[in-house]
Every structure is written in C-alpha cells, then in structure tokens.
Structure 1
Amino acid sequence: MSPAIESDVKKRSRLSADHLTALAFLLPSFLLVLIFVYGFIGWTGYVSLSNWNSLVPDFSFAGLSNYLYLFQDFRFQADLRNTLVFTVLFIGFVIIAGVFLAILLDQKLKGESFFRNIFFFPMALSFVVTGVVWQWILNPSTGVNLLLQNFGVKPKWYTDTTILAGFQWGKIEFGIPIALFAVVIAAVWQMTGFSLAMYLAGLRGIPDEIREAARMDGATEFQIYRKIILPLLKPITVSVIIIMAHISLKIFDLIYAMTGPGANFVTDVPGVYMFETTFRGNYYANGAAIAIIMLITVAIFIVPYLISSRRGEA
C-alpha cells in the first residue's frame, strides 16, 4: 500500500472515530429531547382528542369536541382577545422604548454604563417577582396610589373592568381592557432591557461614515434616523418582534402572580386558563387542547422565522 493511500485510510478511520465520539455525546441529549419535548407534545395532542376530563383517565376518542367547546366558551374567547391586545401593546411599547433608549445611550454620554446597567437590571428578575412587585405598586389601596388619592385621583389599575373601544359580538365584548394596561406596563418594564441591548448593538454596528455622508448631503439628524438608521435596524426589529411574540403568546407567570384571571376575565390569558382547567378543575383533555392551541399560535410566529433564517444562512 502506498503512503498516500495509507494516509487516506488513517484519515478516514480517524474521522469515523471522531464522528462516533460526537454521536455518543449527542445521543443522550437527543433522546431526552425526543422523549420529554416531542414525545410529550404528541402525548398532549393525543389527550386533547380524548374524553379525559376527570380524575379517572378516559382515553376514548372525542375528536375535536374539546376544541369546539373552547371556541364556544366565553372565558376562552376573552383569553384570545386579551392575548391579542397584550401582544400588540407589549411588542409595540417594547420596540418604541428600546429604540428610544438605545438612541439616547448611543450618544456617548457620561455615565452610559451606569444607565445601561439600570435598564438591563429588570431582565435579571423572574416574571413572578415582577408580578408581585407591580401588583403592590399598582394596587388601588397601596403603593403610589395612596399618594395619588391625596390629590383626588383614584386609579383602579388592574381592577378596572372597562373595555375601551369595545363592541359586542355574541357573548364576548371586543376591545381593550383597561386592566390589561397594568400588566403591559409590568411586562414592558422588564423586557425593554432586551430590546435596548439589541438595538444598541445594532446602532454600534453601523459605520459612522454612513451618517457623515448623509450629513454632507444635507440630511438632518431626524432624516438620518428615519431614512437610514431605522431601515438598517430592520433585521433586529424582526428578531425583537419574534422573541417578544413568543413571550407574550405563552405568558403565564407574570399575570398569575400579578392579577390572576381578573374580574370578568379582563386579564385572563390561555396560560392561566390552562393551569386552572388542568390542575384545579381536572379537565385534562380541555387543558391539553388549550396547550395545543398555544403551541400552534407560537409556531405561527417562530417556524417561518426559523425557515427564513436558515435560508439566509444558506
């Protein structure tokens, strides 16, 4: 055997050994993900099509009856309305606040690191802690509201069941629940730091030569940001929208710790409904159906984004 052929054989055997070693390390994680993620998703889907709505398991086939029940249920209809309103307001305010704060911090001001750490700090907290703190701050009988009441202002915050710009359709009243604004404030306060970090990194990645060229052409600072900077930050905006939508569509802990379902379900969301239906009411099939619907809504945002990202990398 020639030296060249012998070297090629050794190289192939070495690569094969490396591949086997890599597979040996990846296999346990792959099996765990396969069982405890995709396996349980499949199990949840199977339960959602059954009649298991009591402590005694009943796996007889129920078809789509659990899903039909949910879409005819007043509470679930209110949950869908609240999720839509919360998602739109949450994403909108997070993007606006993130862009505004990133532009301010990008001005190379003194104490930038101090302010940056302050804005990033809420991200270190869990949604449960945030919910408890803001529940106290916005409680009509505690926090800043005691001071406001001295001036004749008596805000209800998350106890207000008024629906703004609402219209009736069947049993559900569509519109914007005022009580939901309190939850949006808490969520925006916590997640603005993430948006700020993304936009600040994007701004720092834009060469100064682009801005200088625009200034030499007579563009004002407002025109530079509106026609040059913000369009260049579009990929970051898409990423922020996807990530924030993923958080808002499956939100549970913040709302459960802060308000719960609320009066007339004005702050209720599918995550809270699923928890109470499954673990308090023992309606396992209905709870599984809610979980599958939540999974589908999240997948509607995440899957196209992942596909486009992979195509862009290719």
Structure 2
Amino acid sequence: MRRARTWLPGLLLVAPSIVAIGVFVYGMLGWNFRLAMTDRHSTRQPEEHFVGLENFINIWSEARWHLSVRHAVVFTVVFVLGALLLGWFLAFLMEKGIKGEGTFRTIYLFPMAISFVATGIVWRWLMNSGQDERAVGLNRLFDAIGLPQWAWFRDPEWGMAAMAIPAIWQMSGYVMALFLAGFRGVPEELREAARVDGCTEWGVYRHVVLPMLRPVTLSALIILGHISLKVFDLIVAVSGKQIITDVPAVYMWVAVFDSDDPAKGATIAAYIVLAVAVFVIPYLVWSVRKEKQS
C-alpha cells in the first residue's frame, strides 16, 4: 500500500502526457500505417480494402519516387557532413579561447532561432539562379568579383547539394554548441598527461580529445540525420514544389493534397518514419546499454 502511495502521485502527474503521446504520436503512426495498407487512392472513395504491402512495393516502380529518394540521400550526406565539419571547426576555435568568445558564440547560435521557412525565404533570394544583368544575391556578388555564377538549386546535378547550404548555415551553430560542451568536458589532466608522454598538440586531439567526443558526434549525427530525412519547409520555402528539388516529404504533400491520393501519401510517410527509425533506434539501444554499464 505504501509503495502504491509512492508512485501513484507521480503516475497521475505524467498521465496526461502519456495519454497525449499515446494518441497523437503512436496512435497517429498506427493509423498512418493502416491507411498505407489500403487501396484508398481518393478521399471520395466510399470504401477501402486491405492490400497489405502492395503500396509499399508499387511505389518503387515510380520514377518520381526514385528521384525524391536520391535527392534525399544527397541532401542528407551534404547537410550532415557539412554541419558536422563546420560545427566542429567553430567549436575548435571557441575551445582555443579566442577574444570575444561570447559574442561569436551568440552570432553562430543565432540562426538556430530562425525557422526553416524564414531561412528558406532569405536563401531563395541569395541563391537566385539569375545571371548576368538578371543576377541578384550571391550571383550578383560573384559577378562583381569576377567569379563564375551558379545555377544553385536549379542545377540538375548539384542542386540538392546547394539546397543543403541554408540548412548547414542554420544548424552548424547548434552542432558547435554540442562539440564545445564536449571539448570543455575533457579533463585538462588527461591533456597534460598526453603532453608529458610526448604527444604533440595534434596528437592530444587525435588520441585523447576526439575519442571522448564520440558520444557528442553520435548525438549530433542522429539529430541532423532525422532533420534531413523529413525536411519539407526549407525545400518548399526555397524552391517550391518542383521536381528538381523533390524529396519524399514534398512528394507526400503532393500525393495527399494535390493528387488526392491518401494511401500513397501514407505510404511515403511510413517510409520516412522507417528511415528516421534507422537513425534513432540504434542510438536509443546504445544509450540504454551505456546506462546499464554505468
């Protein structure tokens, strides 16, 4: 009876959150997967029938789906690597104790406070593909200093790599904060011991600091990875719903609201959830094992 009195108040306190998550997160996920396994390809369809994994298989025969997946892979690779490298470099500079660290840290973190929509609107002007006398934004600057002008996101080969630039600009400050906390968490005694053993400054970072940053790197990788896989607002704000910058989230919107095909949209959403799970589930398993070991 005493044990019940101990945990019952806490359970009642978190019960509304548990119910809300159960209904609006896992309940909606279950409903989406159920819809993806039906033949409801129109909201005006009076009945729907269970078709199993038919929609999940048939979508791979569509050229637009292959294109959107390829774009998502390119965007993810460029965005994740770019944000990780730039964030690590900024944190390295901060860790060295440059003058005005607080000011620079605020400047680097400020883009994170801006929504992807606002970022996309600004970068849509900066990455305008107009050239010569029609050049604006970065192309106007390149023309003024004699550099070649780019087509940016309209380039059929490097368009999605250019689309990752605004995302890198926005999230690199957050990654910097993660790595800076990791740098500051390395005990100075370990660094001094490595220096006494004859390590150069680069050797200290390679053999002492960087191995201890693996948990931070993994956390940043998970966060950036799941953001890139479900990116929608940035793409639409920069280029609109164009085939040349199509990604699964944009294709899902088109399928549901433009083509009136809820089953296909639910199928694409299910694939996005599964792709995010590939990033998140291993991290959760690793976190649980680490807690048990500690």
TM-score by length of 2: 0.92
Cα deviation for residue 138 of structure 1 reads 0.8
Query: Counterpart amino acid of 1:158?
Result: F
1:86 aligns with 2:64: no
Q: Distance in 1 between matches of 2:190 and 2:245?
A: 46
Q: Distance in 2 between matches of 1:229 and 1:104?
A: 14
| Greater share of helix | 2
Query: Counterpart amino acid of 1:193?
Result: G
1:153 aligns with 2:148: yes
Which range is displaced more, 56-65 or 243-252?
56-65
Structure 1: any 5+ residue segments left out of the alignment?
Answer: 1-11, 164-177
What whole-Å deviation, never above 9, does each CA across 1:19-45 have from its counterpart, x for those lacking one?
A: 322222222222221111111111111
Which range is displaced more, 220-229 or 54-63?
54-63
Aligned pairs for 1:22-101 (under 5 A) are: 22-57=10-45, 58-101=47-90
Please, which of 127, 150, 154 is the counterpart of residue 138 of structure 1?
127
Query: Counterpart amino acid of 1:217?
Result: D
What whole-Å deviation, never above 9, does each CA across 1:234-287 have from its counterpart, x for those lacking one?
A: 11111111111111111111111112343xx33211000001111121100000
Q: Distance in 2 between matches of 1:297 and 1:43?
A: 18
Q: Distance in 1 between matches of 2:81 and 2:141?
A: 30
Which range is displaced more, 142-151 or 85-94?
142-151
Which range is displaced more, 244-253 or 210-219?
210-219
Q: Distance in 2 between matches of 1:308 and 1:249?
A: 21
1:182 aligns with 2:162: yes
Q: Distance in 2 between matches of 1:184 and 1:153?
A: 20
Residue aligned with 1:266, SS: helix
Query: Counterpart amino acid of 1:59?
Result: E
Partner of 2:271: 293
Cα deviation for residue 53 of structure 1 reads 1.1
| Greater share of strand | 1
TM-score by length of 1: 0.86
Partner of 1:241: 221
Structure 2: any 5+ residue segments left out of the alignment?
Answer: 131-135
- Cα distance change of structure 1 residues 47 and 210 upon mapping to structure 2, 3 Å threshold: same
1:118 aligns with 2:107: yes
Residue aligned with 2:245, SS: coil
Q: Distance in 2 between matches of 1:124 and 1:147?
A: 27
Q: Distance in 2 between matches of 1:50 and 1:185?
A: 38
Please, which of 274, 287, 292 is the counterpart of residue 309 of structure 1?
287
Q: Distance in 2 between matches of 1:308 and 1:259?
A: 38
What whole-Å deviation, never above 9, does each CA across 1:192-219 have from its counterpart, x for those lacking one?
A: 0111011100111111122222222222
Cα contact 2:109–2:173 (8 A) shared by 1: yes
Cα contact 1:94–1:188 (8 A) shared by 2: yes
What whole-Å deviation, never above 9, does each CA across 1:113-155 have from its counterpart, x for those lacking one?
A: 0000000001101111111111111112321212323437331
Partner of 1:168: none
Query: Counterpart amino acid of 1:187?
Result: A
Please, which of 191, 197, 202 is the counterpart of residue 171 of structure 2?
191
Cα deviation for residue 69 of structure 1 reads 2.3
Q: Distance in 1 between matches of 2:227 and 2:171?
A: 10
Instruction: Kindly report the root-mean-square deviation, in angstroms, between the aligned alpha carbons of the 2 structures.
Output: 1.6
Cα contact 2:67–2:246 (8 A) shared by 1: yes
Cα contact 2:152–2:159 (8 A) shared by 1: yes
What whole-Å deviation, never above 9, does each CA across 1:32-89 have from its counterpart, x for those lacking one?
A: 2111111111111111111111121432122322222211111110111111111111
Cα contact 1:261–1:269 (8 A) shared by 2: no
Q: Distance in 1 between matches of 2:41 and 2:246?
A: 21
Cα contact 2:124–2:238 (8 A) shared by 1: yes
Query: Counterpart amino acid of 2:150?
Result: P
Cα contact 2:74–2:161 (8 A) shared by 1: no
Cα deviation for residue 288 of structure 1 reads 0.2
Residue-pair matches, total = 285
Q: Distance in 2 between matches of 1:144 and 1:23?
A: 55
Q: Distance in 1 between matches of 2:33 and 2:121?
A: 33
Cα contact 1:51–1:285 (8 A) shared by 2: yes
Query: Counterpart amino acid of 1:275?
Result: W
Cα contact 1:80–1:269 (8 A) shared by 2: yes
